[in-house]
Structure 1
Amino acid sequence: MKFQQNVDLQSLNTMAVPSVARYFFIAQTLEDIRLALAFASKEKLSVFVLGGGSNSLLPEKLDGLVIQPLLKGVECIENSAESSWVRAGAGENWHDFVMHCLSAQYYGLENLAYIPGLVGAAPIQNIGAYGVELKDVFHSLEAMDRATGEMQTFNFSDCEFAYRESVFKNRLKDRMIIASVTFRLQRQAACNLSYPALASALEREADGKNPEKVAEAVIKLRQRKLPDPEYIPNAGSFFKNPVITEAKASALKLAHPKAVIFDVDGSHKKVAAGWLIDAAGWKGREAFQVRVHDQQALVLTNPNRVSRHHILTLADAIRKDIEQRFGITLEREPGLFSE
């Protein structure tokens, strides 16, 4: 096995923050991961797992071993009259996987098209977009215990999914390495148009609405609103949409009639964090060498490729301003390595 030393990770995270790993290793098999973990244990190194780097803020130095699990493979493992169970390796590109399933007529992922990152990271964040969350199509996953090297199967209830949350971000944080994910997808086309912007984008489709059209519309919406990390470094949505009580939402709507608010349940509402940031005047502003995107206020961009300290300083300034103006606390989406 070849462990690279003093590896520059700037090109391996979509926020393009400068970061150097003391050791770096690409794992292509389960045995690779076990050998890497054994090396880290022998050398008494901290272990960090880096996927596609699309939802992570790296420090300037990672004094340990960074493992990038690039386990590949996509296969349909079971079919019924209504469903297909499709398993994908953790190292598969998420968008490519979505489009593969669509072309194979496995439906349910189309609303999640064009999200950057790898399959293995998707359950950790319980990624979601345009009315669909990963948990809606999730069946199970296989993960390796970092301490023992043993494989474990996690079913839906084991993952403790919530809005942009899972057991892997909380109780089992830094304890498991996801190897593969299995999805239960539909064999009959059915479009989820519960998200208003998506429904609006498709309302003029004369030849009908189908999953292919949904994916096409989602891609166009994301391309229009979100910058391409290849040209403008970013980590996508930087803040979660805050969930507040119905009473607080009513008060907010009374004071700000244009506030963008969604139903959650009978007693809670979800406020669009992008609207809050825009209403506070941050959209398009630059501070601490970091910029709020001028098309989507929910996105912080790093055009100067500065360290995460600058990014977090701007994020903290925005968070404090929103709390002071609206009495609502924003939570960051990207994770912090070594936090």
Structure 2
Amino acid sequence: MTRAQNASNPAKLTPNLGLKHRNTFGLDAVAELAYEIHSPEQIPAVMSEIAEQKLSWRVLGGGSNVILPSALPGATLLIDILGQEILCSDEEATYLSVGAGVIWHELVAWTLENGMPGFENLALIPGTVGAAPIQNIGAYGVEIGEYIDRIEAFDAKDHAFVTLPKEACRFGYRDSYFKQNPGRFIVTKVVFKMPKAWQARIHYADLAKQFPLDANPSPEEIFLAVCKIRTHKLPDPKVIGNAGSFFQNPVIPNEQYETLLKTYTDLVSYADLPGKRKLAAGWLIDQCGFKGQRMGAVGVYENQALVLVNHGGGTAEDILGLAKCIRDKVHDKFGVTLQIEPNIF
């Protein structure tokens, strides 16, 4: 028996585990060694074993933001750490501790049911809580980094558990310290700070259209509106494989934006940092004629050009080949380089 198997609360080890059910693209992938992690305490023994055998390794949560190859050599850690609890509450905020394996949308619904609004704009984003801060998920003007107090993780470099306060996480647009240091941290728990002072945030056009001009919707009404929008725009991974938004919205200098606007007067964009403008990647792709198009087993979703889909039998190579065609065409037409959002394993 291995050390990980001998540990007092051992991580279950399964050789040659199929991961089609663990990635929303529905790609056929096989993990050479799959470890199911149900508690942080299981991680040190697994990581010691990985180091001793000099195995390559990676972490997989809900598989909603990944592109998996057909074979994953070495070790794959399946993070299934559950649980959520209110740690404490003061006049300003409630502090909520959540396991990395909790499904993100289920947490959003739970916080609303328990009188802790704030996440409603982020409803129906697929994936787990542990993956959310790595990508600093966001939607309709809200990013998860705003609500994080601290993150507990295992540092594979120092072989020790660490707690990173919000400021150490270096959150940016679809970015974080964890993303900048791939293969180092295994997120085990996220502590959120849920402010008690709440205000509706419906300034994004698609969301604003769901309400009258003078509306002051409740968190629950915003939640339902976001679910309605996303259900219309985004395909259900259970029906057709996808990873949600495939490209980041590019941020460009105002000067470049003004130049593009002279040619494309209906260019869709949003204000960003001073001197910058964020373009709608879906609009750029749509203008290049990709919406609804198919390339073999993969294609672009008919209702949202930002979403690539696997119609069945597609591979990572198929998806990345289509992505390259899109990136090249957008760059040729607009002079803008799109960045792929999912992690490529």
Q: Which residue of 2 aligns with 1:3?
A: 13
Alignment partner for residue 113 of structure 1, among 117, 123, 126? 123
Structure 1 segments of 4+ aligned residues over 3 angstroms from their partners: none
Q: Which amino acid aligns with 1:196?
A: A
Q: Which residue of 1 aligns with 2:153?
A: 143
Q: Which residue of 1 aligns with 2:189?
A: 180
Alignment partner for residue 59 of structure 2, among 45, 49, 55? 49
Cα deviation per residue 1:260-285 (whole Å; 9 max; x = unaligned)? 01100331100000000001111000
SS for the counterpart of 1:274 is helix
Gaps of 5+ in 2: 6-11
The answer to whether structure 1 residue 191 and structure 2 residue 200 are counterparts is: yes
Q: Which residue of 1 aligns with 2:329?
A: 321
The answer to whether structure 1 residue 281 and structure 2 residue 289 are counterparts is: yes
Alignment partner for residue 104 of structure 1, among 98, 114, 130? 114
Q: Which amino acid aligns with 1:201?
A: Q
Cα deviation per residue 1:229-276 (whole Å; 9 max; x = unaligned)? 000100000000000111111121221111101100331100000000
Alignment partners' CA distance in 1, 2:141 and 2:312:
33
- The offset of 1:196, in angstroms, is 1.6
Q: Which amino acid aligns with 2:341?
A: E
Q: Which residue of 2 aligns with 1:203?
A: 212
- The offset of 1:82, in angstroms, is 2.5
Q: Which amino acid aligns with 2:217?
A: K
Q: Which residue of 2 aligns with 1:73?
A: 83
Q: Which amino acid aligns with 1:199?
A: A
- The offset of 1:103, in angstroms, is 0.7
- The offset of 1:205, in angstroms, is 9.4
Calculate the TM-score normalised by the size of structure 1.
0.96
Cα deviation per residue 1:27-67 (whole Å; 9 max; x = unaligned)? 11112112221222232211110000000011111111111
Q: Which amino acid aligns with 1:197?
A: D
Alignment partner for residue 140 of structure 2, among 130, 135, 138? 130
Deviates more, 1:183-192 or 1:294-303: 183-192
Alignment partner for residue 250 of structure 2, among 237, 242, 254? 242
Alignment partners' CA distance in 2, 1:232 and 1:187:
39
- The offset of 1:111, in angstroms, is 0.5
Q: Which amino acid aligns with 2:204?
A: Y
Contact preservation (8 Å) 1:105, 1:187:
no
Calculate the TM-score normalised by the size of structure 2.
0.94
Alignment partners' CA distance in 2, 1:293 and 1:316:
16
Q: Which amino acid aligns with 2:113?
A: S
Q: Which residue of 2 aligns with 1:168?
A: 178
- The offset of 1:148, in angstroms, is 3.9
Which aligned pairs between 1:220-299 and structure 2 lie closer than 5 A?
220-299=228-307
Q: Which amino acid aligns with 2:183?
A: D
Alignment partners' CA distance in 2, 1:297 and 1:235:
13
Alignment partners' CA distance in 1, 2:69 and 2:115:
41
Q: Which residue of 1 aligns with 2:98?
A: 88
Contact preservation (8 Å) 1:168, 1:176:
yes
Q: Which amino acid aligns with 1:175?
A: R
Alignment partners' CA distance in 1, 2:64 and 2:259:
35
SS for the counterpart of 2:97 is strand
SS for the counterpart of 2:130 is helix
Q: Which residue of 1 aligns with 2:9?
A: none
SS for the counterpart of 2:131 is helix
- The offset of 1:139, in angstroms, is 1.1
Alignment partners' CA distance in 2, 1:296 and 1:167:
30
- The offset of 1:327, in angstroms, is 0.5
Q: Which residue of 1 aligns with 2:35?
A: 25
Alignment partners' CA distance in 2, 1:205 and 1:307:
48
Q: Tell me the C-alpha RMSD between the 2 structures.
A: 1.4
Question: What percentage of aligned pairs have identical amino acids?
Answer: 39
Contact preservation (8 Å) 1:78, 1:85:
yes
Cα deviation per residue 1:293-313 (whole Å; 9 max; x = unaligned)? 000000000012311000000
Q: Which amino acid aligns with 1:232?
A: I
Gaps of 5+ in 1: none
Contact preservation (8 Å) 1:107, 1:188:
no
Cα deviation per residue 1:195-229 (whole Å; 9 max; x = unaligned)? 121111122898x5100001010011100000000
SS for the counterpart of 2:175 is coil
- The offset of 1:80, in angstroms, is 1.3
Alignment partners' CA distance in 1, 2:225 and 2:327:
31
